[in-house]
Structure 1
Amino acid sequence: MRNALSLYGRIGLIVLAALGGTARAATFAYISNADSGDISVYRLDENSGLLTKAATQPAGGTVMPMAVSPDKHHLYAALRSKPYQVLSFSIDPADGRLTQVKASPLAESMAYISTDATGRYLFSASYGGNLLAVNPIGADGLVGNVQQVIPTGPMAHAIRNAPDNRYVFASVLGSDAWLRLKFDAKNGRLTQDKAPAFKLPEKSGPRHFVFSPDHRFVYLIDELDGKLHVLAFNRHHDTVKPVQTVSIVPADFNGAKPWGADVHLTPDGRYLFASERTSSTLAQFQVDHDSGKLTRTGTWPTEKQPRGFAIDSSGRYLLAVGQLSTQMSVYGIDKSTGNLTAIGHYPVGKGPNWIETVTFN
């Protein structure tokens, strides 16, 4: 397979030369482990990409999606085992350790959580409950009780606010729809449009999505057909137009059913990566600045069944976990090509599925 990761013996000078830079502020990685019911905490050395274990935080249930508050003071983690709750953790900026401060009810088992731009509201999407929900977040950064529930089609999968915070978008896998909802930031209420913002082909299964750093494009990954959609985003009207659809499966894919999972851009918007679980690979794309279109530039083997991965705020490192693996792989991202250089493997818990990173300047 092209760009196979057999580079461990060349870490040293190659990684430092390719990634460059001097010491940065403290960066921490949080990995939710569904089957062991805890969160692994690591500190990332921004010079080398090496990790140091900081702690293992018990969560008391099947912990899966997580989100970080905009001010970086809190980590929110959703439990998908009963009672369905979101845990509010304070983050110690000195060592990255978590302290659970509160547990609040969720409307259902949630596949995805995120906050609005102000950090005053928590959005959630329920795959099994076919709904979206809103919880308020207090001035203390702690999540309160459910204040709104919105029914959707089957298998709501992700929910995120638009960069201007005027609208919220949500992917609904079972109805092949990407929804738009008007957001009233004064009271935290959502109002769904009658028609989807983008209707996808039947049985495509839209899953996760990200906005480009310049807010001009949206990248939406499908779970069921191995596709990734590029949508031009109108920042004045919060509407989209399709630009391109590409495949995330490797060139030598054996014909098995595709199983897309996660998608992330580097902070400078130059490179996009997407995870495909059947082949256990990361697809690498170069992003055209003007058109937003993607060009496939690499395929990288990674942890088995890679549900979640993350890119740190410097854009120099990618961290990936697989649900059928009990370790995390860390890669350096070459600034000039986007290519990955394997740095190392680190133990995590059972059923790892989500990664969040936080950098304190």
Structure 2
Amino acid sequence: MIRQVFSRAIVSACMLCAAAPVVHAATYAYVSNADSASISVFRLDRANGALTDVQTVAVGGTVMPLALSPNHLRLYAGLRSAPYRVLSFAVDPIDGHLIDLGAAPLAESMAYLSTDATGRYLFGASYGGKLVSVNPIGANGVAGGPQQIIRTGPMAHAIRSAPDNRYVFASVLGDDVWLRFAFDPATGTLTQDAAPAYRLPPRSGPRHFQFSADRRFTYLIDELDGKLHVLAFDARHDTARPVQTVSVLPDGFTGTPWGADLHLTPDGRFLYASERTSSTLVAYRVARGTGKLTRIGTYAAPHQPRGFGMDPAGDYLLAVGQLSTRMTVYRIDRKTGGLQALGDYPVGKNPNWVEIVDFDGTN
């Protein structure tokens, strides 16, 4: 115990200065548990997908969105219970522990957090507050209070910078639009375009979105109509046009669609999405040239799966359900994209977000 505390103190000091610690290869998963007011930390065995419990961090509020810094040495956690705050943690690459670095105000209860490509600014999208915001991040990786707030339509749900960091995009569920903001990385200032980057059908409810690694496509899941959209993304002009729309619902589905999350494998060959009403994950093969999706299969998921994540190697998918206190680990078939459930692991109440970080031993 003394050695672990001492090592974390040394690592924390190193991470607050220019020097980075030398670490061994390891993969860690972080799960926010809203109703338990905690973050669960696990180590992922790369050989077999087994998880080892590392740490449970009490955060003192309803924790939901998580965001990693570009260098993976910081984790930001948003509290959706008042007072609304962002917690900054150092990620110890030696053992995966989180080291509390402080808290700062958020403009509202945030449904989504992400950083810009430089790691100097934290973006937030507020569902109830009808806004997006920018918080500065200091040289030590600690987030400060909001420096800019922009009002949107109802239910702003996700916000991410484009791969080139020149623009920032946000989905607004209540207005069925995908907004574009010019971004000045020198000052962290957003300037909203007069017209949406893309307008979706009425009552579709755009939710989360992902850019492909080659910057040619954007994938956007709806919450309300069970659809997933493929957009051709012009990286030179940061504009989009529709390519394809597919369903995330399983065959024979009855009920009200409730789409949630989506992620691409690191190599861009497969895409996965979660649907809460049916408690399923759906897998697609991605056509490299066109970006179009072909369904591979549908897989049982933890009850009401809101969030999931994949390891940076693309070997494993970890999914949680809001009405489950378990996290399921799936092996991703690298040839077919199919999922094989390997095991379930206990987490807290209302788990909803999964972030996974990999340290390859060269830090």
TM-score, normalised with respect to structure 1:
0.93
Question: Hey, what's the Cα distance between the residues in 2 that align with 1:48 and 1:288?
Answer: 29
Partner of 1:14: none
Root-mean-square deviation over aligned CA pairs: 0.6
For 1:124 and 1:233, the matched residues in 2 are separated by: 23
Residue identity matched to 1:267: P
Query: Residue by residue, what CA displacement relative to the aligned partner does 1:128-180 show, whole Å, maximum 9, x if unpaired?
Result: 00000000000000001110000000000000000000000000000000000
Which one-letter code corresponds to 1:330 in the other structure?
Answer: V
Residue 305 of structure 2 is matched in structure 1 by 306
Measured after TM superposition, the shift of residue 25 of structure 1 is 2.0
Shift of 1:45: 0.5
Q: For 1:222 and 1:59, locate their aligned partners in 2 and report how far apart those are by CA, in whole Å.
A: 30
Within 5 Å, give how 1:31-70 maps onto structure 2. 31-70=31-70
Identify the residue that residue 186 of structure 1 maps to in structure 2.
186
Cα-to-partner distance string for 1:252-309 (whole Å, 9 max, x where unaligned): 212x010000000000000000000000000110000000000011000110000000
In structure 2, the gaps of 5 or more residues are 1-23
Shift of 1:315: 0.2
The residue aligned with 1:340 is 339
Q: Hey, what's the Cα distance between the residues in 2 that align with 1:341 and 1:301?
A: 10
Post-superposition Cα deviations, 1:322-341, rounded to whole Å, max 9, x if no partner, equal 00000000000000000111
Structure 1 SS opposite 2:174: helix
Question: Which residue of structure 2 lines up, in the alignment, with residue 266 of structure 1?
Answer: 265
User: If the length of structure 2 is used for normalisation, what is the TM-score?
Assistant: 0.92
Summarize deviations over 1:304-358 as a string: whole Å, max 9, x none. 0000000110000000000000000000000000011111000000000000001
- The aligned runs of 1:141-290 (5 Å cut-off) are 141-254=141-254, 256-290=255-289
Separation (CA, whole Å) in 1 of partners of 2:236 and 2:246: 27
4+ residue runs over 6 A deviation? none
Aligned-residue sequence identity (percent) comes to: 67
Report the Cα distance in structure 2 between the residues aligned to 1:99 and 1:81, rounded to whole angstroms: 22
Q: Secondary structure at the match of 1:102?
A: strand
Quote the Cα distance in structure 2 between the aligned partners of 1:326 and 1:273: 21
Where does structure 1 lack aligned partners over 5 or more consecutive residues? 1-23
- C-alpha distance after superposition, 1:77-131 (max 9, x if no partner): 0000000000000111011000111100000000000000000000000000000
Residue of structure 1 equivalent to 2:9: none
CA distance in 2, matches of 1:340, 1:263: 15
Residue identity opposite 1:345 in structure 2: D
**Once the two structures are superposed, what CA deviation does each residue of 1:42-70 show, in whole Å capped at 9, x if it has no partner?**
00001111110001011110000000011
Residues of 2 paired with 1:321 and 1:44: CA distance? Answer: 15
**Given the alignment of the two structures, is residue 295 of structure 1 paired with residue 294 of structure 2, yes or no?**
yes
